[in-house]
Amino acid sequence: MTFTMIMEIAGKILDGAGVAVILIGAAVATIAAARRLLSRTRVDVYPRFRQQLGRSILLGLELLVGADIVRTVAITPSLQSVTVLALIVVIRTFLSFSLELEITGRWPWQKKNDVVG
DSSP per-residue letters across 43-58: TTHHHHHHHHHHHHHH
Which residue, 67, 56, 68, is CA-closest to 99?
A: 56
Residue 116 lies in a domain: no
CA–CA dist 12, 67 (Å, integer): 7
In this prediction, residues 4-11 reach a mean pLDDT of: 89
- In the chain, the amino acid numbered 90 is V
Whether residue 23 is contained in a domain is answered as yes
DSSP H or E segment with residue 19: helix 3-38
- Domain assignment present for residue 109? The answer is no
Q: Is residue 113 part of a domain?
A: no
What domain range includes position 16?
3-104
Q: What single-letter DSSP state applies at residue 115?
A: -
Q: Is residue 111 part of a domain?
A: no
Bigger pLDDT: 107 vs 22: 22
- Judge whether residue 13 has pLDDT over 70: yes
* 110 in any annotated domain: no
pLDDT digits (tens, 9 = 90+) for 37-78: 888 777 788 888 988 998 899 899 889 989 988 888 887 778
**Interior/surface letters 87-113, b for 16+ CB within 10 angstroms, e for the rest:** eeeeebeeebeebbeebeebeeeeeee
pTM reported for the whole predicted model:
0.78
If we measure between CA atoms, which residue out of 11, 56, 8 comes closest to residue 30? 56
**Domain count for the chain:** 1
Most confident of 22-31, 58-67, 85-94, 96-105: 22-31
Residue 117 lies in a domain: no
pLDDT for 104? 79
The more confident residue out of 88 and 56 is 56
Mean pLDDT, all residues of the chain = 86
In a domain, 88, yes or no: yes
